[in-house]
Structure 1
Amino acid sequence: MDKLRSLEIFLATYDHGSFAAAARACNTDPSTVSKAVHRLELQLGLTLFQRSTRKLSITAAGERYAHTVRKMTKELAICEDELKYSNDTPSGKLCISAAVCYGHLYIRPLISAFCEQYTEIELVLEINDLHVDIIENNIDLAIRTGFVKDSRLVARCVSPMDFLTCASPQYLANHGTPGCSDDFHQHQWIGFRIKETQQLQPILLPNSQGEYRPFSLKRNHITDDGETMAHMCVDGLGFAQLPHFLAKEGLQNGSLVSLYPCYRAPQPESGVFVIYPKRDFLPAKVRVFIDFLTHYLDDIGESANHTWAKNWSPLITFSNEGK
């Protein structure tokens, strides 16, 4: 029998004045009550009740112990109620870590509306590309453009990553539009260096059937920052393959054009993921943020299996490529 259960039986015995009455209150039998009280007395080295054939009397030590135990169990009950309330109610500090580009472009714009709706949540937003241990660093939720393999964590995909082959209208006016994939050897290319591996992001280009294949091209310019790559593309420094969330603004305002239909990162672990510690009861503050994000994505045409980029009209279609 655990110590807390023994203390509950002790208080019931004190309140009801007999082992039999305590047994009824605790839904057990008098023998179990007697053994529980005796076990406490052995642990304390004190007599808590004076026993006689006719009645049970609390000792001075037992009186003091009952007062302390009652205070402790009351505080424990209050604490449990408060914890349950905080877990069931969207409130308290919510620490979010978001990847830099996605954080700036997708997370930051929805923060004001989220905080206005959930006024009891104190938001802490960290914007960085570091793959930190979110459990060790007390992070409630991380948003990463890539899957994290960790059995302690839940990784929920909120959207795939669709890439678009982009250039600025001015670049195409100055240098011409490639008629097929081989023509890219005559054009400038902006490469992206992955900070974690220091490798260059591979370039995939379509054949005449629309099948994307890795393509070896010289990168004339290289950066390890996604937003910088998008701006370099807008500034006319060459072609770049941009994830949908980086290409969106430029395509919508006309400062970029997409040469081909988008392609999806081939690895199943490539996408935008919401990552949080695995637990039986997800705190309400985490749950409502995930719901808020997914509703926001749905409003802009994105889901776990789809992005708006699939419906974007490219400059070149596969049927006329190379003609």
Structure 2
Amino acid sequence: MDKLRSLTLFLATCEEQSFAAAARVCNTDPSTISKAVSRLEAELGVTLFQRSTRQLKITAAGRHYAQTVRSSILALSSCEDELRQLNDAPRGRLRVNSAVCYGHLYLRPLLKAFCQRYPEITLELSLDDMHVDIIEQDIDVALRTGFVKDSRLVARCLSPMDFVVCASPDYLKQHDMPVSLDDFNGHSWIGFKIKETQQLQPIFLPDADGVYQLCELHRTHITDDGEAMAQLCADGFGFAQLPHFLAKAGLKSGALVSLYPAFRAPMPDSGVFAIYPKRAYLPARVRVFLDFLVTALEAQQETPTHTWAQHWPPHVQFD
């Protein structure tokens, strides 16, 4: 077995954490995987995995070796892509990871048209709100609301993240309308808990001068799922501060109304980003996906500096 094949099987074992699972991914059998790893261990003179009857656990040496192997294979892949760029049509596996709500509401409706346009691209889509190491997990593009600065990655802004304070028409009919910011303390609020930090998303409301201020309000109800938050608001559970991509469907259907013009939270690196590994040559499958996504979002009035929410009229304004 050639060395590159052995390294590929080794990486699959790192990711799947078992010989059987790695064999399924690589379309081979567990004994082939086990023999390939054993050969690497014999060549290196180190143990890459601790084996027991119940589990397979990578060693510190194995983790260190895996980092180098991933970088080497990525560099080789990039070189091969560059050599093929003049006559290579977009093809191959495209692994996309997205924040859950954005993936459901914005990305998924676009994928059929993308796959019809590029039938030789095989799409793998995963949705996850937790931090994902896209290099270690071999992800081509991750869509995230915000990003962690990493010199290995490129973060391309797709749109700002605009927020809208919303309620359902029924809620507004059944409760006294707030006439000042203090009145909001007597209303029900739906809070959003960020899964990764377990912190509540801050609430901003405009003062008499229209300047948005951080407000300490009691959250009557709390959820860590964005779509559930929007639906609870539409069901009349109270007010909610929703990002534009969560508020869009409800506002357009009339299930939600906005109380103020949309605002942009004063937080650094806030927005929707396409994040991908930095490389000398971007594979054709990644390049056409990014171009398609940018064009599709522009058709929905979303650019790196603007969203449709900036023009959405508020239901009512308060003094």
The interval holding the TM-score normalised by the smaller chain is 0.7 to 0.9
> Take 1:151 and 1:244, find their aligned partners in 2: how far apart are those partners?
29
1:117 is aligned to 117
1:168 is aligned to 168
Instruction: Note the alpha carbon deviations across 1:69-127, whole angstroms, 9 max, x for none.
Output: xxxxxxxxxx9589625994211000000100000000000000000000110000111
Structure 1, unaligned runs of 5 or more? 1-78
For the 8 Å contact 1:88–1:283, the answer to whether it is kept is no
1:153 is aligned to 153
2:310 is aligned to 310
For the 8 Å contact 1:161–1:264, the answer to whether it is kept is yes
For the 8 Å contact 2:82–2:281, the answer to whether it is kept is no
2:223 is aligned to 223
TM-score (norm 2): 0.73
> Take 1:252 and 1:109, find their aligned partners in 2: how far apart are those partners?
17
What is the aligned residue count? 242
> Take 1:102 and 1:172, find their aligned partners in 2: how far apart are those partners?
28
> Take 1:246 and 1:85, find their aligned partners in 2: how far apart are those partners?
38
For the 8 Å contact 1:234–1:256, the answer to whether it is kept is yes
Secondary structure of the structure 2 residue equivalent to 1:219:
coil
Structure 2, unaligned runs of 5 or more? 1-78
For the 8 Å contact 1:87–1:282, the answer to whether it is kept is no
For the 8 Å contact 2:163–2:241, the answer to whether it is kept is yes
CA apart distance, 1:229: 0.3
CA apart distance, 1:130: 2.2
Q: Which amino acid aligns with 1:154?
A: V
4+ residue segments displaced more than 4 Å: 79-83, 85-88
> Take 2:313 and 2:118, find their aligned partners in 1: how far apart are those partners?
38
Secondary structure of the structure 2 residue equivalent to 1:301:
coil
For the 8 Å contact 1:148–1:155, the answer to whether it is kept is no
> Take 2:256 and 2:159, find their aligned partners in 1: how far apart are those partners?
22
For the 8 Å contact 1:86–1:92, the answer to whether it is kept is no
Instruction: Note the alpha carbon deviations across 1:26-76, whole angstroms, 9 max, x for none.
Output: xxxxxxxxxxxxxxxxxxxxxxxxxxxxxxxxxxxxxxxxxxxxxxxxxxx
Deviates more, 1:85-94 or 1:207-216: 85-94
> Take 1:86 and 1:231, find their aligned partners in 2: how far apart are those partners?
48
Secondary structure of the structure 1 residue equivalent to 2:252:
helix
1:173-322 equivalences in 2 (<5 Å)? 173-317=173-317, 321-322=318-319
> Take 1:229 and 1:220, find their aligned partners in 2: how far apart are those partners?
12
For the 8 Å contact 1:163–1:244, the answer to whether it is kept is yes
**Identical columns (%):** 63
Q: Which amino acid aligns with 1:225?
A: D
CA RMSD of aligned residues (A): 1.8
Identify if the C-alpha distance between structure 1 residues 142 and 81 changes in structure 2 by more than 3 Å, giving closer, same or farther. Answer: closer
TM-score (norm 1): 0.72
Q: Which amino acid aligns with 1:96?
A: V
Identify if the C-alpha distance between structure 1 residues 180 and 281 changes in structure 2 by more than 3 Å, giving closer, same or farther. Answer: same
For the 8 Å contact 1:87–1:284, the answer to whether it is kept is no
CA apart distance, 1:299: 0.5
Identify if the C-alpha distance between structure 1 residues 185 and 81 changes in structure 2 by more than 3 Å, giving closer, same or farther. Answer: closer
For the 8 Å contact 2:160–2:304, the answer to whether it is kept is yes
> Take 2:235 and 2:86, find their aligned partners in 1: how far apart are those partners?
49
